[in-house]
Structure 1
Amino acid sequence: MTPDQWATIGRLVGWLDTANGTSEQERAMRLIKLTEEAGEVSQAYVGMVGQNPRKGVTHTAADVADELCDVIVTAAVALHSFTDDPAGTLAAKLETIAARSLPTART
């Protein structure tokens, strides 16, 4: 995410904090919301591939992508609720994953 995107996430967190507070229950609700959004990705994918014969094809790849974006934003909001530096936390985690997953140049 870019710094501008993290600034937008920060504004969303501020809006939610004002509307819902910052209790432990609110942090839990943000995690539950993430699970809900992940379910919507699955629902869109099932609809894209027509897995439900009663419904047929009801979604597109763009619908799946849109739902994935909702997951990313919701996860970023939740992350912000567990660290004062969500951008740094994500960057460090990405580096860790890259270091263990991506091939390194061998000389």
Structure 2
Amino acid sequence: MTTLDASTWETVERLRDWLDAESPVSPDEARLLRVLKIGEEFGEVAEALHGAWAANPRKGASHTWQDVQKELCDVALTTLVALATLTPDAQKVFEERLRQIADRSL
């Protein structure tokens, strides 16, 4: 099973470290806010999806499917950074969970 490569995890860790260095809040608050940020990013996926479907008559076709893809990537990246904030073993935790879900589902 192929998982995210080492350079992806290095980038996630660099982003986490940058956020830690720039954060004006305590480490406990930072962990909470990074998990909550996932919800904010999901909201942006929902907005883009509505826009791609032109589901809001007031706004019409305000987004593209590429916008939806971009926002989904933001959710994934935000989630990985939150996971890396919660545990120094983020890669291991992620890969174990991926394996469990694949074993159960495939």
TM-score grouping bracket, smaller chain normalisation: over 0.9
Give ranges in structure 2 of 5+ residues lacking alignment.
none
* Aligned-residue RMSD, C-alpha: 1.0
Q: Tell me the CA shift for residue 81 of structure 1.
A: 1.1
Q: Tell me the CA shift for residue 45 of structure 1.
A: 0.1
Letter in 1 for 2:37: K
Letter in 2 for 1:12: L
Q: Tell me the CA shift for residue 85 of structure 1.
A: 1.1
In the alignment of these two chains, the number of paired residues is 102
Q: C-alpha deviations, 1:16-57, integer Å up to 9, x for none?
A: 111116521111010111110010000000000011011111
List, as ranges, runs of 4+ consecutive aligned residues in structure 1 with deviation greater than 2 Å: none
The partner residue of 2:58 within 40, 54, 67 is 54
Q: Identify the residue that residue 10 of structure 2 maps to in structure 1.
A: 7
Assess, with a 3 A threshold, how the Cα gap between structure 1 residues 22 and 12 changes in structure 2: closer, same or farther. farther
**TM-score by structure 2 length?**
0.92
Give ranges in structure 1 of 5+ residues lacking alignment.
103-107
- Aligned-residue identity in percent: 42
Q: Distance in 2 between matches of 1:45 and 1:2?
A: 29
Q: Distance in 1 between matches of 2:86 and 2:13?
A: 13
